[in-house]
Amino acid sequence: QVRLVQSGGGLVQAGGSLRLSCTTSGINFKIHTMNWYRQAPGNQRDLVARFFSNGTTNYIDSVAGRFSITRNNARNILYLQMNNLESEDTAVYYCNTHYKGAPYWGPGTHVTVSS
């Protein structure tokens, strides 16, 4: 059974930092591409950052240089370090992967940035 369990998030002032974690089980973590998405109120769920199994990463333009996606393959944990947060980063953040063609999602964690 594939499980993604998230932690982190919360309320922070603009310019502050937060770190999100996503602990996975049920998959061979190190061979899977892992993603962070976010969904702001009234908006669709959008990709924020991606960590490919080959070690490469990419980010949407609005977070590049501020966010960092990393992974600990020994502990099956995906991270999203978010620095210099802006009010526009306020959203529910989800970790995501695919297994046997099906998407799997974490439960989501709220990030609120006050200006």
Kindly report, residue by residue over 20-46, the tens digit of the pLDDT: 999 999 998 988 999 999 999 999 999
Query: In the prediction, which pLDDT does 99 show?
Result: 95
Mean pLDDT of 74-101: 97
Query: In the prediction, which pLDDT does 36 show?
Result: 98
The gap between the terminal CA atoms of the chain, to the nearest Å, is 40
Mean pLDDT of 104-115: 97
- In 30-88 the beta strands, taken as DSSP E runs, fall at 34-39, 46-51, 57-59, 67-72, 77-82
Query: In the prediction, which pLDDT does 11 show?
Result: 98
d(CA 1, CA 115): 40
CB 15 within 8 A of CB 85: yes
Band of the pLDDT at 90, cuts 50, 70, 90?
A: very high
Mean pLDDT of 49-62: 96
